Structure 1
Amino acid sequence: MLVVVNPLSGAEGDAQIAWLKQQLKQQQITATWFNTTGNFVSDRDAIVKATTTGTTVVVIGGDGTLHLVANAIARRNNPLALLPAGTGNDFARQFNYSKAQWRAAVFSDQVTNIDLGKVDSRWFVNVAGVGFNAHVMNNLGQKKRLGKLSYTYAGLISLFSAKSICYHSKTWPEHGMMLLLANGKHFGAGLTPAPMASLNDGQLELLWFTPKTHWQRVVVFASMLLKRHIGAKNVHHDRITELCIAQAGYDIEADGEIVGRTPATITCCRQALSIKKAPS
């Protein structure tokens, strides 16, 4: 067993660590512990080196730590167990597990295979996109550690400063605020841009937001907060397996991280990651 820990996960992370150490001692299980450093490439490579076929990888952290581990073990025979300890826990949210269920899953024999998204060669678990969401993450920086309200605050501020982006579509407006490709339902510490998304349908939900004025941006953002944006004016929806974004120079955000710049190809990869489930 390999345990990957975000050392900045605070009191919740400390509680999960203490619980897991106690369980490992009681069950006489040996584990290797790895603290992330914030350097994506070196952390990913270290996790790859520390895992062999069949090694269970336990993640203690949030969506960023999960994103890191997924990039190390996707398409490999390494079941992942999650002990949520992040700010948003957007991936964990869609399972509706209690803390006890997540803990039970660590030692469960039940596994489910889920889809992952991919931005060129970079895997993601939740949502990727360009435009407003990337602008928010660039402005947020280290403030993510301040809690969930920091996301909402940064989003409100960015409504009036994020520049429009261009996405060429045969049927929709060319200019808009944000283009999202969703594998999971949630992002931004609890927002639900893609309530219809499934982790095992082989598709990504495409959402193209096209408000033209500041007021329209406020309306769209408020409708997403209220989960009433699907089908609303200036919100366009489709399902895709692959999308090429040809326009150059846009930052790409995925799972709360800036992962690259356009042009890029975003794809859905079926059953790319094994997740441990709570016992039935």
Structure 2
Amino acid sequence: MSDEVALLVNPAAGRGRGARAGRRAAAALSEAGVPFRVLAGRDVREAGDLAAESVESGARALVVVGGDGMAHLGLQALGGADTPLGIIPAGTGNDLARALGLPLKDAAAAAAVVAGGVEREIDLGRTDGQWFAGVVAAGFDARVNDRVNRMRWPKGPRRYDVATFAELGVFRPIEYHIELDDEVLETEAMLVAVGNVPSYGGGLRITPEAEPDNGLFDVLIVAPVSRMTLVRAFNRVRRGTHLTYPFVSVHRAGRVKLDAPGITAYVDGERLGPLPRIFDLVPRAQRVYVPVAR
């Protein structure tokens, strides 16, 4: 195994924050005496190939600079290998980094976490050969993502606001077939979210009680409600206080099968593909660098 850390940078992350964060992380690792090699692909495919090659060649760790999409790419490269993952948050979401307690706006401090070498084993999800760490969106939230991907205006976070209100105008409850380990549910719902961590979308605490090392997914189901009630519920999601609503239920399971007509699933900010899908929780599948416990 090499002593070198592979530092995978996404220059486009966070509208250029990735490049700046990469430079700061590199300087901090150098100052801490951590040997590293910078990897920067011209596109996602090349970045993934470079990351996989570094893991196969025995890099001491894979450290990704970017958001949840970059962490997702890193997980595919690691593929369940015994190589730790480090994260330098520089994206728009950073929900895995948030769940791990990493510094979100200080690349040098995040690099110091890597240099500190404290590790934690976390669970990962797996579906059709893909690894993931975050929350699967598979309902109203997924439809909003579909709409965002078709939009050219406006730019930035406001695009999600516009897409949300546009989708509210046409959205109808969805018929789901849900299997939670040995339990089967046939139900209508506004959305189903499968969470390994508490939040998605940059701090929306959709599954606020999810823990990335308890061996189970939190599966949140929102029963059919009026559009205005759904809006009010979403206004409470950032604080994670929506679980008190009677139309919100949470289940826990290690294997989840979801099927619903016309629904595309998203996770870690990435498009997974249409349902049906099976999501398996793999306990303690990945070592990650975390701050020293206080």
Which AA in structure 2 matches 1:254?
V
Correspondences of 1:76-225 after superposition (within 5 Å): 76-98=81-103, 99=106, 101-141=109-149, 146-168=155-177, 174-225=187-238
Q: Distance in 1 between matches of 2:66 and 2:83?
A: 18
Q: Distance in 1 between matches of 2:30 and 2:11?
A: 21
Distance 1:155 1:189, change over 3 A: farther
Distance 1:53 1:89, change over 3 A: same
Q: Distance in 2 between matches of 1:248 and 1:161?
A: 16
Quick check: 1:251 aligned with 2:255?
no
Q: Tell me how far 1:105 sits from its aligned partner.
A: 1.2
In the alignment, structure 2 segments of 5+ residues that lack a partner are none
Aligned length in residues: 278
Contact 1:185 1:197 in 2 (8 A): yes
Instruction: Specify the alignment match of 1:38 in structure 2.
Output: 44
Distance 1:143 1:182, change over 3 A: farther
Distance 1:30 1:199, change over 3 A: closer
Match of 1:2 among 3, 6, 10: 6
Q: Tell me how far 1:139 sits from its aligned partner.
A: 1.7
* Structure 2 residue matching 1:69: 3-state secondary structure: helix
Q: Distance in 2 between matches of 1:30 and 1:188?
A: 31
* Structure 2 residue matching 1:200: 3-state secondary structure: coil
Residue range with higher mean Cα deviation, 263-272 or 223-232: 223-232
Quick check: 1:22 aligned with 2:30?
no
Cα offsets for 1:134-159 (capped at 9, x unmatched): 11211223879944444344333323
Q: Tell me how far 1:107 sits from its aligned partner.
A: 1.2
Q: Distance in 2 between matches of 1:129 and 1:119?
A: 14
TM-score norm. by structure 2 comes to 0.84
Which AA in structure 1 matches 2:142?
A
Which AA in structure 1 matches 2:53?
K
* Structure 2 residue matching 1:92: 3-state secondary structure: helix
Match of 1:56 among 40, 44, 61: 61
Cα offsets for 1:61-83 (capped at 9, x unmatched): 00111111112213101111111
Distance 1:43 1:144, change over 3 A: farther
Which AA in structure 1 matches 2:165?
L
| Percent identity over paired residues | 25
* Structure 1 residue matching 2:138: 3-state secondary structure: strand
* Aligned alpha-carbon RMSD (Å): 2.6
Contact 1:185 1:193 in 2 (8 A): yes
